[in-house]
């Protein structure tokens, strides 16, 4: 019998402990100066983040949802304007479209759990204004057909790349394929702060100018209020923490990719599972494994077996796709997504885990299906 381990889905204290001394020193420096809002640490972080992704602008905002909303507000959506979004995403993706004045139109995903271009094409109408790919679980979608559809139909692209900082498709980073991309720094993200935080990535000077104004009460660089805006600035304490974590971010990604390789090696022969693409599955994709999302036969029984043996898992989005929230007015039928949400689950995937931890998870899964 395997010696029982306790493997939480996400170990928040352990992630903090890894950099605690440097983090606390940076926070103390900010507090000692009284430098809380839009100070040097934020400027430094925005500069380094933009450099990291190879884009012109990275603009710190209060959270990932606002990082989606603000670029949408630059698109001047009118009532009835539609924006296509995959149904397999957090409700914030669709909510941002709604709050920007548009109508979210959920579409199906493919076997990689990302937006399906054929479903996008089928959803196009004379009211479609834009497409919001969601770069989910640390993987950037195959963007060529999405870009082709956008160009053919004169549509904007705003990416929800909140889970994908550092992932690429054909060498281009998540967040760079449209007018802007959104990043979240929620604590459990691959680059997480100690609370809420987000950033808008863009190469568009006009979008950058408007987003900077929108995040700061509609004020421009001179302080004049030129539009209705929000108070949604990434605060300096969080920026200081993110400056530290960004320095070792490539190391964190390498750790996640190594853990994903262990999962792939141990579980790829299990016929009852559908695994995410392996780290070396395609030269077009570089995945960062924000999550390790699988599909599993007898999923609920598997989850119970795992928790009985100390392994904790979750169902992303509470086990629902956004088009299934009927109170929001959705009535789509999306076959793959609906089948997937009956089978999907997230296995533990974070930098507090060791290879031995992942082997233990795999041992338990193999034991379940072999029993």
* Residue 288 belongs to domain with CATH number: 3.90.1150.10
Q: 């929800």: which residue's tokens?
A: 160
Q: How many residues does the chain have?
A: 371
* pLDDT one-digit tens code per residue, 281-319: 999 999 999 999 999 999 999 999 999 999 999 999 999
Residue 76, in any domain of the structure: yes
> 329 in a domain, yes or no?
yes
* Pair (217, 295) in one structural domain: no
Residue with tokens 């029982």: 4
Q: What are the pLDDT digits (tens) for 314-345?
A: 999 999 999 999 999 999 999 999 999 999 99
**Domain assignment present for 1:** no
Q: What is the mean pLDDT of residues 176-197?
A: 97
Establish if 10 belongs to a structural domain.
no
Q: For position 15, what pLDDT does the model report?
A: 87
Is 287 in the same domain as 237? Answer: no
How many domains does the chain fold into? Answer: 2
CATH number at residue 137: 3.40.640.10
Looking at the structure, tell me whether residues 290 and 166 fall in a common domain.
Answer: no
pLDDT at 1: 55
Q: pTM here?
A: 0.96
For 330, the 3-state DSSP assignment is coil
Residue 33: give the domain boundaries: 16-247
| One domain, residues 176 and 259 | no
Phi–psi pair at 32, nearest 5 degrees? -65, -30
Q: pLDDT of 228-277, one tens digit each?
A: 999 999 999 999 999 999 999 999 999 999 999 999 999 999 999 999 99
Strands 168-169 vs 172-173: parallel, antiparallel or unpaired: antiparallel
Please answer whether residues 188 and 35 qualify as being in contact, where contact means their C-beta atoms are separated by less than 8 angstroms. no
**pLDDT bucket at 3, cuts 50 / 70 / 90:** confident
Q: Is 282 exposed, middle or buried (0-12, 13-18, 19+ CB in 10 A)?
A: middle
Domain final residue, candidates 247, 271, 302? 247
Mean pLDDT of 170-189: 98
Residue 176 and residue 272 in one domain? no
| Non-local CB neighbours of 336 within 8 Å, separated by 6+ positions | 108, 109, 110, 111, 116
Are 171 and 237 found together in one domain? yes
Q: Is the pLDDT of residue 349 over 60?
A: yes
Q: What is the pLDDT of residue 56?
A: 98
């Amino acid at each position: 019998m395997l010696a029982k381990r306790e493997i939480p889905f996400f170990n928040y204290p352990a992630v903090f402990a890894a950099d605690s001394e440097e983090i606390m020193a940076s926070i103390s420096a900010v507090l000692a100066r009284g430098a809380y809002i839009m100070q040097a640490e934020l400027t430094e972080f925005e500069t380094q983040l933009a450099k990291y992704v190879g884009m012109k602008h990275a603009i710190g905002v209060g959270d990932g949802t606002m990082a989606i909303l603000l670029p949408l507000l630059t698109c001047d959506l009118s009532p009835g304007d539609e924006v296509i979004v995959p149904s397999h995403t957090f409700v914030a993706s669709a909510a941002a479209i709604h709050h920007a004045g548009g109508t979210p139109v959920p579409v199906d995903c493919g076997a990689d759990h990302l937006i399906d271009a054929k479903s996008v094409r089928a959803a196009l109408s004379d009211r479609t204004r834009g497409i919001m790919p969601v770069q989910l679980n640390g993987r950037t979608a195959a963007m060529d057909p999405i870009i082709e559809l956008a160009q053919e139909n004169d549509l904007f692209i705003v990416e929800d790349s909140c889970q994908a900082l550092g992932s690429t498709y054909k060498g281009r980073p998540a967040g760079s394929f449209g007018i802007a991309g959104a990043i979240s720094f929620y604590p459990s993200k691959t680059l997480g702060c100690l609370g809420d935080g987000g950033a808008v990535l863009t190469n568009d000077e006009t979008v950058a100018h408007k987003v900077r104004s929108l995040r700061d009460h509609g004020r421009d660089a001179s302080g004049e209020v030129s539009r209705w805006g929000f108070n949604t600035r990434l605060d300096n304490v969080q920026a200081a923490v993110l400056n530290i974590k960004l320095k070792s971010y490539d190391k964190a990604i390498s750790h996640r990719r190594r853990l994903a390789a262990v999962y792939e090696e141990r579980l790829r022969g299990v016929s009852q599972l559908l695994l995410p693409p392996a780290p070396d599955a395609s030269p077009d994709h570089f995945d960062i494994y924000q999550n390790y999302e699988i599909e599993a036969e007898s999923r609920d029984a598997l989850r119970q077996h795992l928790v009985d043996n100390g392994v904790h898992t979750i169902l992303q989005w509470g086990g629902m796709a956004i088009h299934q929230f009927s109170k929001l007015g959705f009535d789509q039928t999306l076959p793959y997504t609906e089948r997937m949400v009956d089978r999907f689950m997230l296995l533990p995937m974070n930098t507090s885990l060791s290879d031995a931890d992942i082997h233990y998870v795999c041992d338990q899964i193999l034991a379940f299906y072999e029993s």
